[in-house]
Homo-oligomer: A and B are copies of this chain.
């Protein structure tokens, strides 16, 4: 993949002169300590490539700017990704600008165009759901998709390996000696809810686990559904050793529902959540063992893909990053 029509970037100059982007920035802005011949080499490369220097009044001139387009209306998914993005470039090497699409595809396209017109060096587009999505029109700068991958295999995507996340939960259940598990899922129409539930249904036997009722209980992403599911599970005749949940909010509801029925977690039943969202996982009684999607790592990986693309080394395809098990008091 190449971007033949895009403007010349700092990274092009860095590439051509065999130095880091930071060094190019110093040379072009006449800042910091630099050997005279290095500075000359960079300036020559910049001139040859037709690099347009940033406005002289720009005190942040030379720093890479990445645009992050998100549709996350409370920011709990996009802020960690933003932090990871910033980290991926090192301190003072990058600025990240977020633009919010509110989940509207027309607005999303508008956000991307606005960022491109603001001369950002690369764009990261984050969906508020996982699963494939339609690609955006190509822009003058590289686009990396994060959370939900582009359906165009030529695009660059970085996603969470949710199946691996559920395998961690199943392995944890097996290690604790559990046999009978239940799965309380989000709404069936959500890809995230389905793929997690399917992973449990498919792989439970591999770990010697039996899924109570043979299938996931679909509901919604709420504590109220968790409390309701806890009641439903109490009425089943089969014993349940562990309740796996599609989110921490559901898991918190299950924990409340069980406690209020005088069932002691984790003594009588274990619970695992999903997300490691502090507001639910840490406020839950007991605090939740959960699967962390490593969103900051996702941001760092997206930053690395953008940087590769900026430096002309882009590679198409999907990177799926692993989740992490966080053990707390509910197991």
Contacts and interface: CB of A to CB of B under 8 A. Distances in A.
A72 B98 CA distance: 13
A97 B79 contact: no
Contacts of A111: 95
Contacts of A73: 79
Contacts of A249: 283
Contacts of A99: 95-98
A102 B118 contact: no
In this complex, the member of A73, A79, A97, A279 whose beta carbon has the largest number of chain B beta carbons within 10 angstroms is: A97
A95 B57 CA distance: 23
Interface stretch (A13-21, A58-66, A145-153, A309-317): A58-66
A96 B119 CA distance: 15
Interface in A85-115: 86, 92, 95-100, 102, 110-111, 113-115
A74 interface: yes
A138 interface: no
Contacts of A55: 117
Contact of A74 (B60, B74, B95, B98): B74
A113 B29 CA distance: 15
Interface in A247-262: 249
Contact of A97 (B113, B118, B222): B118
Interface string A198-225: 0000000000000000000000001110
Q: What copy number does this chain have within its complex?
A: 2
Contacts of A113: 58-60
A92 to B, nearest CB: 7
A54 interface: yes
Contact of A75 (B54, B79, B86, B224): B79
A294 interface: no
A191 interface: no
A316 to B, nearest CB: 24
Contact of A114 (B63, B72, B110, B224): B63
A82 interface: yes
A83 interface: yes
Given A58-B116, A97-B115, A118-B120, 8 more contacts: A57-B140, A60-B114, A67-B97, A74-B76, A75-B76, A97-B97, A222-B283, A279-B279
Closest 5 CB pairs of A and B: A75-B75, A58-B117, A98-B98, A97-B97, A95-B114
